[in-house]
Structure 1
Amino acid sequence: MKKPTIFRDLLEVLGVSVKLGLTSFGGPIAHLGYFHNEYIQRRKWMDERSYADLVAISQFLPGPTSSQVGIGIGIVRAGWLGGLAAWLGFTMPSLIVMILFAFLLQGFDISSTGFIHGLKIVAVAIVAQAVLSMGQKLAPDRNRATIVILAASVTLIWQTAYSQVLVLALAGIAGLMLYRKIDIPDAPKLNVSISRGFAAACLVLFFGLMFALPMMRSFVGMGWVSMFDSFYRAGSLVFGGGHVVLPLLEREVVPTGWISKSDFLAGYGVAQAVPGPLFTFAGYVGAMISGVQGALIATIAVFLPGFLLMVGVLPFWNDLRHHIQVQSVLIGVNAAVVGILLSALYNPLWTTAILLPVDFALACVLFLMLVYWKLPPWVIVIAGAVGGMVISYCDL
């Protein structure tokens, strides 16, 4: 009698997550609202306090925040397979759209059209809004604002994947030194059915792949190994939500010649208009590199770190979250994340998209629509694409 119950729970998790993957527009924060409405209010799969705790875990870990919350709910509902089903259902709809767009871009020479240029300007407005909102929340004081500017400066001047790792590490040390006396509020325990042994194995696998993949890449020299390594590393370093994957992936795939900067930014603009996780942008990049196979490799690689960490940390979180040292390190890391995103706003976004005064004017209008008119991202994408076409046709 147990197996049919588990199978039924898995199908239920998959069905609900597919529904959310088809309808959850608006980015990670909006996704959390959709999740709360569907999983907590309608289906009562988790109590309010446990859901808040799960959101806190996802914000603590690198990876796609909203996807990790969904994975955690799936785990609580139906074990680690439930987490896998929740991820699959939430991810597939937008991944399919991004792969189709990659094929469209490859099949037709539209990379230099006004439509594509408008999508690049959309990306400028979207990331500017993310820098503003994240900066207000994660860098509200002088010390954290200083970390933001230093992180942005270093990653602009020294543009390698390793510079970002170093910046995050130093920011964590700064946070530990500056915020070691913060107050930690009490929180209820989160009930998790995963054993600590299985969780520890997932953590070992996470760190093992971090070290093994670069070595395999240098010795084996196979294309798919190099792709998996690049996307896995990007997924392992993303703190602060999907927007931060932009600079990480850009420095992994554009300098290598796998994809042009123009095609990279066009896909990022389209990713704002589709429901589901922004991380499916990796699937678009993978499809541009090596078709459907590349899309699957890139998608699995970029999501795998977040999945392993969620499964690995959940059973230990009740003890871990009460350590002041952990919270203080996280404060510094989050501030550095804002700095990394700020540097990406300038390069590659601004330097590629804002070429003329009229481009800047369109970016300002889109930013106004997004931040002050509170219009949904898909409206901004359509407006940006139309604006880019108008600029091109009128030769402004």
Structure 2
Amino acid sequence: MTKNNPNSGFKSLLEILLVSTRLGFTSFGGPTAHLGYFYEEYVRRRKWLDEKSYADLVALAQFLPGPASSQVGIGIGVMRAGILGGVVSFLGFTLPSVVALILFAILLTEFEINHVGWIHGLKIVAVVVVAHAIMGMAKKLTPDLKRKAIALFALITTLIWQTAFTQVGVILIAALMGFLLFKHQQEKEEVRSFFPIAKSVSIISLLLFFALLFLLPIIKEVTGSDWIAMFDSFYRSGSLVFGGGHVVLPLLEQELVPTGWMSEETFLAGYGAAQAVPGPLFTFAAYLGAVLNGWQGGLLATIAIFLPAFLLIIGTLPFWDQLRNNRKIKEAIMGVNAAVVGILISAFYHPIWTSSILSPGDFAFAAILYSMLVYWKLPPWIVVLTGVIGGLLMSLI
């Protein structure tokens, strides 16, 4: 439970905006690092909530599809100043990287710099970042042979049948496998917490989440609007991602590249650039939307991909105790988490590896960048800058 009462006044909202915006400018390193930044700022320094409440909120964000760090930030804002506090917290944390990636997309399209060497360097950075994510997630989410087998099933299936619907089917099958294979393997302890949201508001949020998920494809077909089609693609990707920002890559790639909306090279250049900015990796959508339809498209894509996360966190906070203490739900999630590893490895091979590592020199450079990130533990922005400079130099040799 929080140590202070929520305050929805202007002063509290301004405080949330200032603190979250500073985090949005400085939080490099991906979702795990973001959670560390949040803990230091919100729990230890400002004491907006205690450690137990923070752990509860992180557990909920990991349970839901979507960007975990963004959902935790939204949840903290809600606990501090109600739903409006959640909106303000989200805007502060997200807008810095959204603006940076929209500007990068405009630069890329206006000056047609897709084929310059530093873009290839960014693609190699993408290889390194995803490889690092795979290593960490596999260690945590597939610790035994059963879960390794589920990951292998997900890997093979998504490699052979490369569609967005395949990934959704794999997640559902993995949930069923988790329920069948992992009975009675969870901790017995039950935990309780409090989140200040009316259940009626939560139910409306959940109904809106599912209504948009099922109605947007119909509206797209009826209207034939490119804008609605784009909103539908990004909303669906944001709704079906388990495992954080890196796992959204294959979903977005399947939505945009095979349909001819953009080339693989342009797609991966943006993914590499997304590693250079702080904040949530889901802001990659801002780059993609801006490539498709300018800055307006960037803003629309950002709203579409984050809207499911916002609706889900608001919709589930009051019901979280019942969900996380349900044995069957716990079992299913164990299977889903293992499948996420397999899906990520599949995306690592194609399109990331096949489009980026084209020569022994590329592989050697990727090994250097990986060592900088993992072994020397240099800040991600230094790794990205090295990738840009190295890619440019390699193109001149």
TM range (shorter): over 0.9
In the TM superposition, what whole-angstrom CA distance separates every residue of 1:199-231 from its partner, at most 9, and x where no partner exists? Answer: 011111111111101111111110111011100
Deviation at 1:42, TM superposition (A): 1.1
Deviation at 1:52, TM superposition (A): 0.7
Equivalents in 2 of 1:170, 1:331: separation in Å?
Answer: 12
Equivalents in 2 of 1:343, 1:235: separation in Å?
Answer: 19
Deviation at 1:365, TM superposition (A): 1.3
- Alignment check: 8 A CA contact 1:182 1:324 kept: no
Identity of aligned residues (%): 58
- Alignment check: 8 A CA contact 1:236 1:306 kept: yes
Return the match for 1:261 from 264, 280, 287: 264
Return the match for 2:55 from 52, 57, 60: 52
Query: Which aligned pairs between 1:233-312 and structure 2 lie closer than 5 A?
Result: 233-312=236-315
Deviation at 1:3, TM superposition (A): 12
Residue 245 and residue 4 in structure 1: after superposition, are their counterparts in 2 closer, same or farther (change >3 A)? Answer: closer
Deviation at 1:390, TM superposition (A): 1.7
Equivalents in 2 of 1:259, 1:91: separation in Å?
Answer: 24
User: Counterpart of 2:60 in structure 1: which amino acid?
Assistant: I
Deviation at 1:190, TM superposition (A): 2.1
Return the match for 2:80 from 62, 73, 77: 77
Length-normalised TM-score, structure 2: 0.97
1:146 aligns with 2:149: yes
1:128 aligns with 2:104: no
Deviation at 1:379, TM superposition (A): 1.2
Instruction: Give the structure 1 partner of residue 229 of structure 2.
Output: 226
Q: Which range is displaced more, 371-380 or 4-13? A: 4-13
In the TM superposition, what whole-angstrom CA distance separates every residue of 1:215-270 from its partner, at most 9, and x where no partner exists? Answer: 11111110111011100010011111111111111111111222211111001101
- RMSD, matched Cα: 1.4
Return the match for 1:11 from 5, 10, 14: 14
- Alignment check: 8 A CA contact 1:118 1:386 kept: yes
Return the match for 1:109 from 95, 107, 112: 112
User: Counterpart of 2:326 in structure 1: which amino acid?
Assistant: H
In the TM superposition, what whole-angstrom CA distance separates every residue of 1:330-377 from its partner, at most 9, and x where no partner exists? Answer: 111111111111001010001100111111111111112112111221
> Number of paired residues?
393
- Alignment check: 8 A CA contact 1:50 1:189 kept: no
Q: Which range is displaced more, 325-334 or 383-392? A: 383-392
In the TM superposition, what whole-angstrom CA distance separates every residue of 1:115-150 from its partner, at most 9, and x where no partner exists? Answer: 000100110011011111100000111011111111
Equivalents in 1 of 2:392, 2:368: separation in Å?
Answer: 15
Deviation at 1:183, TM superposition (A): 2.5
Deviation at 1:4, TM superposition (A): 9.1
Length-normalised TM-score, structure 1: 0.97
Return the match for 1:212 from 215, 233, 249: 215
1:94 aligns with 2:97: yes
User: Counterpart of 1:171 in structure 2: which amino acid?
Assistant: A
Moved over 4 A (4+): 2-5
Equivalents in 2 of 1:114, 1:171: separation in Å?
Answer: 40
- Alignment check: 8 A CA contact 1:234 1:248 kept: yes
Deviation at 1:187, TM superposition (A): 5.0
In the TM superposition, what whole-angstrom CA distance separates every residue of 1:158-178 from its partner, at most 9, and x where no partner exists? Answer: 011100000000000000101
- Alignment check: 8 A CA contact 1:21 1:89 kept: yes
Structure 1: gaps of 5 or more residues: none
Instruction: Give the structure 1 partner of residue 25 of structure 2.
Output: 22
Equivalents in 1 of 2:298, 2:79: separation in Å?
Answer: 29
SS in 1 for 2:184: coil
- Alignment check: 8 A CA contact 2:67 2:280 kept: yes
Deviation at 1:51, TM superposition (A): 0.3
Instruction: Give the structure 2 partner of residue 64 of structure 1.
Output: 67
